């Protein structure tokens, strides 16, 4: 079975979680450019991919399971996979942030890499907005006045503070989930349930 894990902090914390289950990669994914890693569990190989690609690989059926942030799942709105367990790792929050004194009003311009979540949230508040999609250094858009505010993930809030921004609203508390392909789960239910019960 293949387990896809997104790069970065989720990968670091997932590897620690797997170690607690006595599942270890034969070589460190942190120090290698390889994409597929064998483990000491003959049933599991680990694949390293971008966060936004984890649901796509799992939905395709070529990958059985994945570990991915709730933010990615909400943005992608995947229906062809099962969200089996909140692993409670890589915790952070998805927030609206802006310069001090900014209020949430209609027709704001918002920079984010989460256009779907952002649009949905502002609509739910009865506040139509314009989205500027960016892929990195989201805060800069508000700092430079390109947008009225930003929607981004925050762990400590230090980056916001250092750039003169503050949290205006928490949209969602985020952690990482174990997701499984529906067909894989049907065929490998016993193994996957056992795997999940070890995590509990």
Q: 83 with 131, same domain? A: no
Mean pLDDT of 153-161: 92
Q: What is the DSSP letter of 3?
A: E
* pLDDT above 80 (res 36): yes
- For 26, the domain range is 2-90+175-199
Q: How confident is residue 77, by pLDDT bands cut at 50, 70 and 90?
A: confident
Same domain, 111 and 83: no
Residues 68 and 125 in one domain: no
18 alpha carbon, distance to own chain's centre: 18
Co-location of 149 and 189 in the same domain: no
What is residue 131's predicted lDDT score, i.e. its pLDDT?
Answer: 98
Say if CB 82 and CB 179 are below 8 A apart.
yes
> What are the residues facing 32 on neighbouring strands?
none
The answer on pLDDT for 132 being more than 80 is yes
Q: What average pLDDT score do residues 177-196 get?
A: 94
Supply the pLDDT for residue 79: 76
Residue 199: is its pLDDT beyond 90? no
Q: Are 81 and 182 in contact (CB under 8 A)?
A: yes
Same domain, 12 and 76: yes
What is the Cα–Cα distance from 177 to 108, expressed in whole angstroms? 32
156 shares its domain with 81: no
**Where do runs of H (alpha helix) occur along 80-181?**
115-124, 139-143, 158-162
Note whether 101 and 62 are same-domain residues: no
Structure tokens at 23: 């599942």
**Do 32 and 46 lie in a common domain?**
yes
Predicted confidence (pLDDT) per residue in 95-122, tens digit:
999 999 899 999 999 999 999 999 999 9
User: How crowded is the C-beta side of 52, counted as CA atoms within 13 Å?
Assistant: 5
Give the pLDDT of residue 171.
Answer: 98
Cα–Cα distance for residue pair 176/56, rounded to 1 Å:
16
Beta-bridge mates of residue 36: 47
Q: Are residues 159 and 188 in the same domain?
A: no
Span 5-27, mean pLDDT?
94
* 84 and 179 fall within a common domain: yes
- pLDDT, average across residues 57-66: 95
Query: How many domains, the chain?
Result: 2
**Do residues 114 and 162 both lie within one domain?**
yes
Q: Let me know if 86 is exposed, middle or buried by CB neighbors in 10 A (0-12, 13-18, 19+).
A: exposed
Same domain for 82 and 160, yes or no, is no
**Stretch 21-43: mean pLDDT:** 92
Query: Residue 200 above 80 pLDDT?
Result: no
Q: What is the CATH number of the domain that holds 190?
A: 3.40.190.10
The pLDDT > 70 percentage for the chain reads: 100
Q: What is the pLDDT of residue 78?
A: 76
Q: If you average pLDDT over residues 163-191, what whole number do you get?
A: 95
Burial (CB count <10 Å: 0-12, 13-18, 19+), residue 156: exposed
Q: Looking at residues 114-136, what average pLDDT do you find?
A: 96
Block residue for tokens 């430079």: 144
């Amino acid at each position: 079975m293949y387990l896809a894990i997104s790069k970065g902090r989720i990968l670091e914390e997932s590897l620690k979680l797997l170690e607690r289950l006595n599942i270890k990669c034969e070589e460190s994914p942190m120090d290698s450019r390889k994409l597929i890693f064998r483990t000491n569990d003959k049933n599991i190989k680990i694949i390293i991919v971008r966060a936004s690609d984890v649901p796509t690989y799992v939905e395709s059926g070529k990958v059985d399971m994945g570990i991915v942030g709730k933010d990615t799942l909400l943005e992608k709105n995947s229906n062809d996979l099962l969200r089996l367990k909140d692993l409670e790792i890589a915790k952070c929050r998805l927030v609206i942030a802006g310069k001090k004194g900014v209020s949430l009003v209609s027709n704001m311009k918002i920079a984010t890499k989460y256009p779907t979540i952002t649009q949905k949230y502002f609509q739910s508040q009865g506040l139509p907005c314009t989205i500027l999609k960016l892929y990195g250094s989201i805060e800069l858009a508000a700092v430079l006045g390109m947008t009225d505010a930003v929607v981004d993930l925050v762990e400590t809030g230090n980056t916001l503070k250092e750039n003169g921004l503050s949290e205006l609203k928490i949209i969602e508390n985020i952690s990482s989930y174990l997701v499984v392909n529906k067909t894989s789960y049907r065929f490998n239910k016993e193994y996957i349930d056992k795997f999940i019960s070890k995590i509990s």
